[in-house]
Structure 1
Amino acid sequence: MLVDVRNFHITGKEFERRLDEVQITVNKNSVPNDTEKPFVTSGIRVGTPSATSRGFKEPEMAKIARWMGEAARDFDGSAAQVKAEVNALCEAFPIYQ
């Protein structure tokens, strides 16, 4: 899934860094009509294979979307809590049992 982050007034590169800090892995990616350089970008690509491999369904994906929004809007105020919640979700849905 491709997400345009220009409305949050951040670059894809910055958003990728923020999400990496809270244990959510995405890739910066150009979006249609992108004015940023390819190494900066205005978007991110969210892959779902790792989420589906863990057994995440719609409720878990909704949580991830909410955490991404929090990281985009108020990273400094939300990062610690988001990271803790991401880690708790991953513990509840281990890759190997």
Structure 2
Amino acid sequence: ANAAALGERLVERGFELVSGGTDNHLILVDLRNTHQDLSGKEAEEALEAAAITVNKNTVPQETRSPLVTSGLRIGTPALTTRGMGVKEMIAIADWIAEILDSPGEQQARTRVKALVRELCEDFPLYPELTQT
């Protein structure tokens, strides 16, 4: 459900998913038709600067080098492990869209990075180890 929600929101935000969606925990975004000037590598780096971890990935009929790529692979297992749900997936998809729609904008990166940090604090990886 989490990957589907994240993928659906990305589609609503104008992104194209390989195979139109997902039936598992992975989403593959094809940037060629929606963000032609942005490579998978550049997208990965922009999102990393905002504390969102994804991987550049080749897509079907790839035209770029495997070191650059035209796609992004997004996985949801770490988010689900923390207890995040559909509401959080929608927010994360919006943050991904905000960064990739303006990948060089430092203010957006800083703002999203703070939101990611806050979300991670709300959903600690091992809450039983959190000191009170």
TM range (shorter): over 0.9
Task: Identify the residue that residue 3 of structure 1 maps to in structure 2.
Answer: 29
- Amino acid paired to 2:81: S
Q: What CA deviation, in whole Å up to 9, does each residue of 1:57-80 have, x standing for no partner? A: 111001110000000112314111
1:29 aligns with one of 54, 57, 62: 57
Per residue, is there more helix in 1 or in 2? 1
**Percent of paired sites with the same residue:** 47
Task: Supply the distance in 2 between the matched residues of 1:20 and 1:5 (Cα, whole angstroms).
Answer: 17
- Amino acid paired to 2:122: A
Deviation of 1:96 after TM superposition, in Å, equals 1.0
Q: Give the structure-1-normalised TM-score.
A: 0.95
1:71 aligns with one of 99, 102, 112: 99
Deviation of 1:32 after TM superposition, in Å, equals 1.1
Query: Which structure would you say has the larger RCO, counting Cα contacts within 8 Å and 6 or more residues apart?
Result: 1
Q: Give the structure-2-normalised TM-score.
A: 0.71
Task: State the superposition RMSD in angstroms.
Answer: 0.9
Task: Identify the residue that residue 41 of structure 1 maps to in structure 2.
Answer: 69
Task: Identify the residue that residue 92 of structure 1 maps to in structure 2.
Answer: 122
2:85 aligns with one of 35, 40, 57: 57
Gaps of 5+ in 2: 1-26, 128-132
Gaps of 5+ in 1: none
Which stretch shows the higher mean deviation, 68-77 or 26-35? 68-77
Q: What CA deviation, in whole Å up to 9, does each residue of 1:39-60 have, x standing for no partner? A: 0000010011101111111110
Task: Supply the distance in 2 between the matched residues of 1:52 and 1:86 (Cα, whole angstroms).
Answer: 15
